[in-house]
Copies of this chain bind each other. A is one copy, B any other.
């Protein structure tokens, strides 16, 4: 018998796809919920990409979920979903707004039949408002949210951030909303629908840059790797023999620490660099000077030198370094597993650490629909003959 986890006993119907919704349901599964991943006949979009070699996101995001293939374009398929929803705690989807209603599977209808069901939805812009039907992908939301406008070099074009932050910010907010609703239901008996719009889940990280907006002035420019307000120096990414290092000097003590690290204490006597105000006035010069100090050394060595002087810094790590990170491997945040479909891969575990509980086991994603018969026998009590008929009709 497994150790009970916080969400053990919660049944989740998971209609989600790609990143946003599947991250929310991954976190639910990691918390102990029983998550049934309901996939269209051809498999979820990301599963199909995994078959093309793009394995890691699908394998990681769908760990701990059971796969049920179900054709919601058939009335028999929709009937099965309705019957599953009668006994479920949560239904999660990230279709475009309106899709579930058009299928006759909207929250109002499902909750009329099961008032304890929490219906959770995420989309680019939410279920109402003028942008409701705008296309939403990580790239377009990064554009609409203003992320791109403040990412990039001062003299270059707006840039996206490489990681799919807009999708995942939405997904973890969706998890938060679902668990909040579960808590309220536990406390009061009332089950709510919850919603997260990707755009809205991306606003708070912009606040520091937004605080630089001045009425009548143009919006803040891009600053490369410098501090948003151009009010700290040195603060940048500097070249090293084998890559780069990020350094942020937040006060005069750290400035002198930096000088000691490179044996440059004499610079501290120079009035042109004595205060942050003076350094910001000649930021290009300061950055060039620090870059000369860092350039001869490997990034790991520079990091050690700065750590010893308590100067905030970090090597710019490449993805192979991150994927083999000894710290996360030691903490069990990353794990090397042998995946039955995809072979040896390194997968991340849930970032939510619950004291006294081991990290959740990595239960690999199975084949498309591989758990369908077991799930329907367990949750709906369907017998073999019925399951055979559904399979023959290509409903499951």
Contact = CB atoms under 8 A, between A and B. Distances in A.
A235 B171 CA distance: 24
A135 B313 contact: yes
Number of this chain's copies in the complex: 2
B193 A355 contact: yes
A61 to B, nearest CB: 7
A317 B143 CA distance: 6
A180 B352 contact: yes
A55 B206 CA distance: 13
Kindly state the interface size class of chain A when it binds its partner: 35 or more
Contacts of A326: 130
Interface in A148-176: 148-153, 156-165, 167-169, 171-173, 175-176
Given A146-B322, A200-B348, A224-B159, A186 B183 contact: yes
Contact of A162 (B151, B156, B237, B353): B151
Interface stretch (A244-252, A263-271, A364-372): A244-252
Nearest to A57: B207
B327 A131 contact: yes
Nearest to A315: B143
A53 B297 CA distance: 39
10 contacts: A6-B187, A60-B207, A135-B311, A139-B225, A153-B159, A169-B169, A181-B354, A183-B186, A199-B327, A200-B348
Interface of A: 4, 6-7, 9, 19, 23, 27, 31, 53-57, 60-61, 107, 119, 125-126, 128-131, 134-135, 137, 139-153, 156-165, 167-169, 171-173, 175-177, 179-184, 186-188, 192-197, 199-211, 213, 219-220, 222-225, 228-229, 235, 237, 239, 244-246, 248, 307, 310-323, 325-328, 330-331, 333-334, 348, 351-357
Given A152-B152, A153-B159, 10 more contacts: A130-B327, A135-B312, A143-B315, A149-B317, A151-B151, A152-B159, A159-B237, A162-B223, A167-B205, A203-B334
